[in-house]
Amino acid sequence: MSKIFVLPKLPYELDALEPVLSKETLEYHYGKHHAAYITNLNGLIDGSDFANMPIEDIIARADGPMFNNSAQAYNHTFYWDGMKPPTGDKDNLPTGQVADALKEAFGDFEKFKAAFSEVGAKHFGSGWAWLLKNKSGKLEIKGMHDADTPVKDGDTPLLALDVWEHAYYIDYRNKRPDYIAAFWQLINWQFVENQLLAPKREPLMLPVEQ
Ligand code: FE
């Protein structure tokens, strides 16, 4: 019997990101969309060469539906982990080594925020805005289409922003820039720092015995 992936538990309750993201959005986005990627992935890996691999290894080797479902399973886990309940501090500024790294790469935090927001807002169609550390150790902002993910290229993801319509349409309808403006209140900078400083990336998702 091959192992299967399970939908990772959210690091907070479904209503914990309100008022920025509603419980209804998380019920659909996490409970339906993310869950479906994992169900589809389990159907695809069963009996295949990809059975029993960490998700990063599947993403690196797969194409077609196997790539799309493994990458979306990964991307959504990363997106949820990169957020935390809002505290009422609308600025929610990074501190310490993340603040220093963003300043070094982009000039200052406001410039980074503007550039990342623009990549998310102007991305055409479904996809993601990523902050990543590339193989030379440099921080970069990248817009990626559909399921595409920095893990495929061997870069280290630091922060993910889902700009698929399913991420914001219940709460913000067609106003993607409003969703992005509100997203900054939710960023879990401690998670970003952990990714930035980790000497080696641990597998984000491992299949388990049924
Ligand atoms: Fe999504």
| Omega before residue 19 within 30° of 0, cis | yes
Distance 189 CA to ligand 1 centre (A): 20
Max Cα–Cα distance, the chain, nearest Å? 52
For residue 11, tell me if it sits in a domain. no
**What is the pTM for the complete model shown?**
0.97
Distance 122 CA to ligand 1 centre (A): 17
Distance 199 CA to ligand 1 centre (A): 28
The residue segments making up the domain with residue 70 are 22-85
Distance 34 CA to ligand 1 centre (A): 7
Distance 37 CA to ligand 1 centre (A): 10
Residue-level pLDDT at 201: 81
> Does 178 lie in the same domain as 159?
yes
Kindly report the CATH number assigned to the domain that includes residue 152: 3.55.40.20
Q: What percent of the chain has pLDDT over 90?
A: 96
> Does 169 lie in the same domain as 110?
yes
Residue type, 197: L
> Does 100 lie in the same domain as 80?
no
Confidence of residue 9 (pLDDT cuts 50, 70, 90): very high
Distance 147 CA to ligand 1 centre (A): 9
Mean pLDDT of the chain: 97
Residue-level pLDDT at 1: 64
List the one residue out of 42, 47, 10 whose CA is nearest residue 25.
10
> Does 109 lie in the same domain as 191?
yes
Beta carbons within 8 Å of 60's beta carbon, 6+ residues apart? 151, 152, 154
